[in-house]
Amino acid sequence: MMGNSAPRQRSVLRDAVLAILLLLTTRVQASDPVFTGRAEPPDQLLSLWYSRPAGEWIEAVPVGNGRLGGMVYGGVTTERIALNEDTLWSGGPKDCDNPQALKTLPEIRRLIFEGKYAEAHQLGKKMMGPYTQTYLPMGDLVLTFDIPRSSGPTEIRDYRRMLDFDHGVVGVRYTIDDLVYTREVFVSPPDQILAVRLTASRPATLGFTAKLGSRLHFRTQAKDNVLGLRGKAPAHVDPNYYNSPNPIVYAPTDDGEGMSFELEPGGVYPNLFGSHPPFQMDGNFAFPAGVAEMLLQSHASDGEIHLLPALPKAWPTGSVKGLRARGGFEVDLAWKDGTLSSATIHSQLGREATVRYGEKTVPLATETGGRYDLDGQLRIPEKR
């Protein structure tokens, strides 16, 4: 009896463990959402649309403005937006000039003229510079949604994920029970932000948790209802075609080689410098230059000074002083309700110019040190 009971006990325990595992597996599978129905095609003819969320990066759909970009997965319980920014690379500034390039060029030209294209192609490899580091992913924005609970699998009806090419917007729409959820993601060129708009068909039924992360070294901080991420890029990353035992190298300290970056809602200081550290040369100089170009443009070839060539609708009334124009001019401007009200031009070199506002132009003969006041109609000024 004792000899036969032990195998039976082991068999019972084995069957019990197997039953528990099967039960756990069944419960995990039951919690996965089930997609039913079929959404109507979008009204936008120029669009891509799908009936399921993306399973991997290559299946996600992109949004971007040329600098800031995101890949939107369109998940139901969890949305992931993979973020990138065009200046985030590994490494740092280096001299990448190839001193052999100029010496090689005459021989390559000779080979081409002789029809020896294969030899010219091989020799052209000597003109290439060194490897210039790797473009890096910045981070991930993950939204985990509070969806209605049910005893069985969550039924997702009429799911649709689409990319609207005309407006540059990714849209997600689906129904759970009697609730219709929508999601819109886009990147604004003028505001330089990625925006996510979430809606539900009934009040007080939309909730989520937001999380930021990155494949690079990073830390996050939540303060005053703002979630931010600061990170550090590697000092060196080998390309994927190198067979290197240690392809990614970080500097030993945070102030060592490798870009520092920050991912959080930013802004602009009164001096038009960006509010996110460290000092960003391209952003801090390019943004004020872009603002100045919207208010004043000048061309040395014809001496034209163009006033308010691209005034944004968001700035209906305002003024600016001290804008520099080519030819030695300094310009003060004021406008109201989107229309020029006055302009003052200071001539430092006494050159001639043509002042333009809209379709109207007036010639301006100046003297060194002269000041010339114009109204919104560009009346012929008198020297003060």
Per residue in 301-336, pLDDT (tens digit) is 667 999 999 999 889 999 999 999 998 999 999 999
pTM: 0.61
Q: What is the pLDDT of residues 24-33, one digit of tens each?
A: 333 333 367 8
**In this structure, are strands 304-307 and 353-357 parallel, antiparallel, or unpaired?**
parallel
Q: Which amino acid is at 281?
A: M
Q: What percentage of the chain has pLDDT greater than the value 70?
A: 84
Distance of alpha carbon 129 from alpha carbon 259, whole angstroms: 22
Looking at residue 57, its pLDDT comes to: 94
Average pLDDT over residues 1-30: 39
Using alpha carbons, list the distances in angstroms from residue 328 to 303, 348, 370, 373. Answer: 10, 5, 11, 16
Q: Which amino acid is at 40?
A: E
Q: What is the DSSP string of 299-319?
A: ETTTTEEEESTT--TT-SSEE
Spatial CB neighbours of 87, under 8 Å, sequence gap ≥ 6? 67, 259, 282
Looking at residue 2, its pLDDT comes to: 38
Count CB neighbours of 160 within 10 A: 19
- pLDDT of 267 higher than 80: no
Helix and strand numbers (H, E) in the chain are 4, 24
Average pLDDT over residues 122-131: 89
Looking at residue 191, its pLDDT comes to: 82
pLDDT band at 210 (very low <50, low <70, confident <90, very high): very high
Contact 323, 345 (CB under 8 A): no
Distance of alpha carbon 124 from alpha carbon 6, whole angstroms: 78
Three-class SS state of 75: coil
Q: What is the DSSP string of 313-379?
A: TT-SSEEEEEEEETTTEEEEEEEETTEEEEEEEEESS---EEEEETTEEEEE---TT-EEEEETT-P
Count CB neighbours of 204 within 10 A: 6
Structural domains in the chain, CATH included, are 33-92+133-266 (2.70.98.50), 284-375 (2.60.40.1180)
**Weakest mean pLDDT among 73-87, 147-161, 194-208, 211-225:** 147-161
Q: What is the pLDDT of residues 133-146, one digit of tens each?
A: 999 999 999 999 99
- pLDDT of 383 higher than 90: no
> What is the chain's mean pLDDT, rounded?
85
